[in-house]
Amino acid sequence: MTQDDIYGSDEQRALLRRGRALFDILGQDPRYTYYGRTVGLATGTVRDLDHLTALARVQGNAAIALVPEAEVAALHDGLTARNLVPIAYSRWDGGAASLAAAKAIVRDLPLPAGLTMTRIDADTPSTVLASLADMALGSGVLPLAGEVLRGLLNPAVCLVAQDGEGKVVSCGASAGFAHPDHPVPGRQAYWGMLATDTAWRGRKLALILGAHAMLSMSRNHGIEAFFTGVEPGNTPSEGVCTRLMFARSVAVILGCADPRSLRSGRMTK
């Protein structure tokens, strides 16, 4: 991985480097997850508070991907007592109905005239990833590590829409997340990293690219189940999830940041 494969502020790039290195150590253990940002826990309860705290201290940020709602308050309070910054995301899950909805969207909604869709791969010029990063970071979305975006590490798909000058104006991605041996999320993929340039918003680009990304993961990697995290009150993201037949889970994604490493208290939007 080169410096050009990671983007963001100095703190965010350092965080991505630590997450990538920790994946080399823990990536074969089914308890852990990695999708191009940081290593986390696939599932957890308040009994995993010390474990989550350690992951956050090492990397600057970590999350449990599936927390029973009844456990969230105790975990939140425990993280706060350890001077970490917790953030809870609604977990949305998609499956067969989502893939059917994606097929309908791809059929009925072409990209607007003047735009082309490109899949990021090993041969994609670094200038395209830099353009993707500029657009995504401008929308508050931290791009995944380049190895994942290019499909070199996990089963993954990253799609971008480019204008006639090659500028990336929207993106969407999906990536393998948990170890396939994990009995709960091992067959799911992360789906998201949806962002659109301000000048192109309102044209359903994130919806279109997100639909294509899901179908590509199904077609090329045999993945039929997806999840994403949405901060409560993020109405546009909730609308995209609803359109793609994702369902809000009774479980929660609980993340946390170490403000000594990540002063904003947030890894991404």
The span from the CA of 240 to the CA of 181, in Å, is: 30
All structural domains of the chain with their residue ranges: 3-257
pLDDT for 201: 96
In the block, tokens 């735009």 appear at 115
The verdict on pTM exceeding 0.85 is yes
Classify domain 3-257 by CATH number: 3.40.630.30
Give strand ranges (E) for the chain. 32-33, 40-41, 61-68, 85-94, 116-119, 156-162, 168-176, 188-196, 225-230, 247-257
Residues of the chain scoring pLDDT < 70 = 1-4
Fill in the amino acid letter for 155.
P
- Residues for the chain: how many in total? 269
Give the span between the Cα atoms of 78 and 129, in whole angstroms: 38
Instruction: State the pLDDT at residue 4.
Output: 60
Alpha helices in 82-160 (DSSP H): 96-108, 126-138, 146-149
Query: How many helical (H) and strand (E) elements, i.e. helices and strands, does the chain have?
Result: 8, 10
Residue 269 pLDDT: 77
151-205 pLDDT per residue, tens:
999 999 999 999 999 999 999 999 999 998 988 788 899 999 999 999 999 999 9
CB 69 within 8 A of CB 252: yes
12-22 pLDDT tens trace: 999 999 999 99
